[in-house]
Amino acid sequence: MLEGNSLNQPAPPRGFKALLVTMTCGAVNDNLLRGALLLSVAEGGMWGGKLGEGGTGWITVMLYLPFVLLLGVTGQMADRYSKRTIIVWTRIAEVLLATGVAIAFWFGSFYVTTALFVLLAAQSAFFSPAKYGSVPELVPDARLGWANGLLSLLTNAAIILGVAAAGIMLGAGPVFLGFSMIGVAIIGLISSIQIASQPAADPTLSLSMRTFTAHLRVIHRMRGTPLLSTTLAWCWFYAVGSLVITIIPLLREPMELSDAAAGALLAAPGLGIGIGGLVAGVLSRTGILASLIPIGAIGMTVTFVLLAIMPESWMTSIILLGIVGFFAGFYVVPILALLQHMPVPSFRARTVGTANFMTYIAMMASALGFAVLAPVIGDDPHLWFSICAGGMLLVFIGAMLQRTTMRAAAAPELFATIGGEV
C-alpha cells in the first residue's frame, strides 16, 4: 500500500507525478505568452491599441480557435494512439515554438509573436485530451476527485506563475520572457519521458478527419446520459471565466497599474482556483462530491456582483478575484471528475476532447462577443463584471435544476458505463 501523505491521501504514482510536472510546465508557458500579449495590447502596453478597442478579446479568440478546429481529431488520436507518445511529441513542439517566441520578441515583431501564440495553442489542443484522458489510467477511480483537485491546484499555480511572471518579465524585457519559456519547455519535455507508458485505449479506432462530424457523433452518444448535462455545465462556466480574463487587463489604465501589478490581478483567480480546487479535492477524498457545484456557482455570482459595485481599488479587486477563483475551484473539480468517471476507457479521451471542444466554442464566443460589443457599449470593467454576474446566476440555476442528475452520475456504480460505439 502506498504511504499516506499529510492529507491522508496516497502519494501520487510515479507516472502521475511526471504528468503533473509536464502539464504544469505547459500551463506556465501558455500563460506566460498569453499574459504578455493581454497586457501588451491593453492601453498602456508596448503594443497598446495594436488590435483596437476590444483587443484583449481578439487575443483570447486566437488562443481558443485552434482548439475549436482541432479537438475533434486530437480527441480521437488520444484514444487511437498511446497518450504518452502524443504528450512527448507535443513537448518537443513546445521547445521549438518557445525558441521562435524568443526570436520574435528579440526583433519586436507583434505579428510573428501572435502567429506563434496560435501555433502554441494548436500543440496544446493535441496535448489536452491525452493529458486529461491519462489521469484515470494513472490513478484509481476512487481517487479521481483527489487527483483532479491536485491537478487543479498545480494547473492554477502554473497559471498564477505564468501571468504574474509575464508582467514582471515584460518590465525586465520581453526577450527574457522568451528565453524563460525555452527553459520551462525543456523541463516539460524531460518530465514527459518519465510518464508511465499505457497501451492505446482503442488501437483499431478509425480516425475521421471530419472534425465537426466526429464531435457530433460523440455528442450523439452523450445524449440521454448525464455526460451531456455535465459537459454543458462545464461549457457555460468557462464562457464566463474566459470573459473575466479578458476584462481584468481593462483595470490597468484606470488604476494606473504597472505591468507587475496588472499581472498580479490576472494571477489572482488562478490562485483562488488552486486553493479552492485543493479544498474540493480533499473534501472529495472518498468520491466525487457533486453538491460542490451549485455552491461554487452561487459563490462566484455574489462575488461578481461585489466586483461590479465596489469602487476601483487594486487591493479590493485582487481579493475579490481570488474569492471568485476559490469558488470556481469548487465548481470545476467535481465536473472534471464526472467527465472522466462515466465513459468507458475506449471512449474517455473522445469524451474529454469533445467536452473541451464545446468549452472552447463557448469561451471563444464570449471573447468574440466582448471584442465586438466593447467598441459599441464600452469596456467599463464594472459593466462587464455585471454581465459575468448574470451569466453565473444562470449557471447556478442550471446547477440546481441538474443537482439530482449530477448526484446520480457521481455514484460508483456509474463508473465506466457509458460506451463509445460511435
Question: 396 vs 199, which has greater pLDDT?
Answer: 396
pLDDT in tens, 254-274: 888 877 788 888 888 878 887
pLDDT (0 to 100) of residue 163: 76
Name the average pLDDT for the chain: 84
Q: Is the pLDDT of residue 348 over 80?
A: no
pLDDT in tens, 152-185: 667 767 877 787 788 888 877 888 899 999 999 9
Please return the burial class of 302, using the count of CB atoms within 10 Å of its CB with bins 0-12, 13-18 and 19+.
middle
Q: Within 10 A of 119 (CB to CB), how many other CB atoms are there?
A: 17
**Percentages (nearest 5) of helix, strand, coil residues in the chain:** 80, 0, 20
The CA-based diameter of the chain, rounded to the nearest angstrom, is 61
pLDDT (0 to 100) of residue 66: 87
Q: Is the pLDDT of residue 6 over 50?
A: no
Q: Is the pLDDT of residue 239 over 50?
A: yes
Please return the burial class of 310, using the count of CB atoms within 10 Å of its CB with bins 0-12, 13-18 and 19+.
middle
Residue-by-residue DSSP string for 65-113: HHHHHHHHHHHHHHHHS-HHHHHHHHHHHHHHHHHHHHHHHHHT-HHHH
CA–CA distance, 169 with 32 (Å, rounded to integer) = 9
Q: Work out the average pLDDT over 31-59.
A: 80
Confidence of residue 2 (pLDDT cuts 50, 70, 90): very low
pLDDT (0 to 100) of residue 346: 75
Supply 232's cell numbers: 454543458
Question: 367 vs 11, which has greater pLDDT?
Answer: 367
CA–CA distance, 115 with 94 (Å, rounded to integer) = 14
Q: Work out the average pLDDT over 199-218.
A: 76
In a domain? residue 422: no
In a domain? residue 290: yes
Q: Work out the average pLDDT over 30-48.
A: 81
In a domain? residue 9: no
Is there a contact between 337 and 148 (Cβ–Cβ < 8 Å)?
Answer: yes
CA–CA distance, 228 with 220 (Å, rounded to integer) = 9
Tell me what percent of the residues of the chain surpass a pLDDT of 90: 27
Ranges 146-155, 166-175, 225-234, most confident? 225-234
Please return the burial class of 91, using the count of CB atoms within 10 Å of its CB with bins 0-12, 13-18 and 19+.
buried
**Which residue has 455528442 as its cell numbers?**
219
Confidence of residue 314 (pLDDT cuts 50, 70, 90): very high
Q: How many domains does the chain have?
A: 1
Question: 151 vs 317, which has greater pLDDT?
Answer: 317
At 4, phi and psi to the nearest 5?
Answer: -75, 155
pLDDT (0 to 100) of residue 421: 52
pLDDT (0 to 100) of residue 7: 40
Name the DSSP class of 211: H
Give the DSSP H or E segment for 164: helix 144-172
In a domain? residue 420: no
In a domain? residue 99: yes
The amino acid at residue 35 is G
Confidence of residue 115 (pLDDT cuts 50, 70, 90): very high
In a domain? residue 339: yes
Is there a contact between 285 and 383 (Cβ–Cβ < 8 Å)?
Answer: no
Confidence of residue 3 (pLDDT cuts 50, 70, 90): very low
Confidence of residue 422 (pLDDT cuts 50, 70, 90): very low
Q: Which range, of 242-251, 264-273, 344-353, 397-406, averages the lowest pLDDT?
A: 344-353
In a domain? residue 7: no
Give the predicted TM-score (pTM) of the model. 0.72
Q: Which range, of 16-20, 109-113, 116-120, 163-167, averages the lowest pLDDT?
A: 163-167
In a domain? residue 396: yes
Question: 227 vs 48, which has greater pLDDT?
Answer: 227
CA–CA distance, 356 with 204 (Å, rounded to integer) = 23
Ranges 84-93, 242-251, 367-376, 400-409, most confident? 84-93
Supply 263's cell numbers: 499581472
pLDDT in tens, 294-310: 999 999 999 999 999 98
Q: Is the pLDDT of residue 1 over 60?
A: no
Domain around 217: 14-202+211-414
Supply 365's cell numbers: 464566443
What CATH number is given to the structural domain containing 288? 1.20.1250.20
pLDDT (0 to 100) of residue 45: 65
